[in-house]
Amino acid sequence: MIDNYTNNSELFDSCLNLLDESFPGCKEFALNGIKYNASWKKASTPFILKEKDEIIAHAGVWPIIFMLNGKEHRSASIHGVCVKASHRGRGHFQQLMQEVMQYVANTFDSSVLFTGKPYLYKNYPYKVMLPEYDFILSESNKYNARSHSKNSDLRMLQWDNADDLNLIYKLLSNRVPLSNQLSLIHENGNILFVLNRMNKKIYYSEALKVLIVYEILDKTLYLKEIISTNQTDISDIIRLILSAENIQVDKIIMQFCPDRFLEEKECSPVLARPENCIMTSDTFSFNGKYFRYPELYCC
């Protein structure tokens, strides 16, 4: 049965209790998001099954608008699918999924879901969108040579600083697409970004007016997200990072489709190992050569 979290805190809390049974830590994760204006209950539409007024099964539908193959594409992420442990094996999962899929088919262009257990959905019209790729920049050494030529104004934002939080949302709301092949361009995606990144590092450059999410591990720079209201130059971004970190790296890897930043000859695709695979409905069609879903927007 479709329901609504709006003005129903009791329903939201009951669903979170059920979700926390299947996905420990989920409730704390969702409640912490409210602190940063990333409200799960404002973005997700719940489907629930009840028995004697007790919620025994849940599935959520999270609307997402993609830039896909150069066009806007309305999709839905099916998430938080679970059945109370004491009620499993009775067909509740199938009943709930059938209702969710009917709703999604009537409302959206496609649907996606993220799972580490794709076999659970083998009887449903979803396919594993594999393989996924990272992209190694060619000639990484030239960035090392330039990295210390100028000072860097890159700083780490503070999630508990109201001005920094407002800055994050401002840039998210007015950003240019990260990729024309595949990126998120809707406010519900902004909530996903904050939920998945809260209390973790995110950096900002006033000079470039850009948010950057990256990690450096074993002398490899992993670029995970670039958020700006204007198209930025990848060389400027890398220079900022390497100068701020005062480090040289052996590899620079982009973990998203790089079509707005690089020519195909400027990078080499390598198989990625995301934590969860993305499964898609048949109406989700990616026309690019190498697929990569930005992991900061998994639901």
Query: Within this chain, do residues 190 and 85 fall inside the same structural domain, yes or no?
Result: no
pLDDT in tens, 200-231: 999 999 999 999 999 999 999 999 999 999 99
| Tokens coding 200 | 């973790």
CA–CA separation, 43 and 143 (whole Å): 40
Maximum separation of any 2 CA atoms in the chain, in Å: 68
| CATH code for position 186 | 3.40.630
Domain limit, last residue, from 83, 98, 128: 128
CA–CA separation, 226 and 62 (whole Å): 23
Query: Within this chain, do residues 100 and 195 fall inside the same structural domain, yes or no?
Result: no
Number of domains into which the chain is organized: 2
CA–CA separation, 217 and 66 (whole Å): 30
Query: Within this chain, do residues 173 and 257 fall inside the same structural domain, yes or no?
Result: yes
Domain limit, last residue, from 103, 128, 153: 128
| CATH code for position 33 | 3.40.630.30
Q: Does 99 reside within a domain?
A: yes
CA–CA separation, 161 and 37 (whole Å): 13
**Among 25, 82, 79, residue whose Cα is nearest residue 49:** 82
Angle between the N-to-C axes of helices 26-35 and 9-22, in degrees from 0 to 180, rounded to the nearest 10 = 140
Q: Does 4 reside within a domain?
A: no
Query: Within this chain, do residues 124 and 216 fall inside the same structural domain, yes or no?
Result: no
Question: What region, left, alpha or beta, does residue 279 occupy, with left being phi > 0 and alpha being psi -120 to 50 degrees?
Answer: beta
Q: Does 185 reside within a domain?
A: yes
Query: Within this chain, do residues 141 and 110 fall inside the same structural domain, yes or no?
Result: no
pLDDT in tens, 67-99: 999 999 999 999 999 999 999 889 898 999 899
- Domain of residue 70 covers 9-128
Q: Is the pTM of the predicted complex or chain greater than 0.85?
A: yes
Task: State the distance between the two ends of the chain, measured CA to CA, in whole angstroms.
Answer: 21
Q: Does 2 reside within a domain?
A: no
What is the residue-level pLDDT of the chain in tens, covering all 299 positions? 888 887 788 999 999 999 999 999 999 999 999 999 998 888 999 999 999 889 999 999 999 999 999 999 999 999 999 999 999 889 898 999 899 999 999 999 999 999 888 888 888 888 887 789 999 998 766 766 555 556 789 999 999 999 999 999 999 999 999 999 999 987 777 899 999 999 899 999 999 999 999 999 999 999 999 999 999 999 999 989 999 998 889 999 999 999 999 988 899 999 998 888 899 999 999 999 999 998 899 88
Contact status, residue 202 vs residue 154, Cβ threshold 8 Å:
no
Query: Within this chain, do residues 71 and 152 fall inside the same structural domain, yes or no?
Result: no
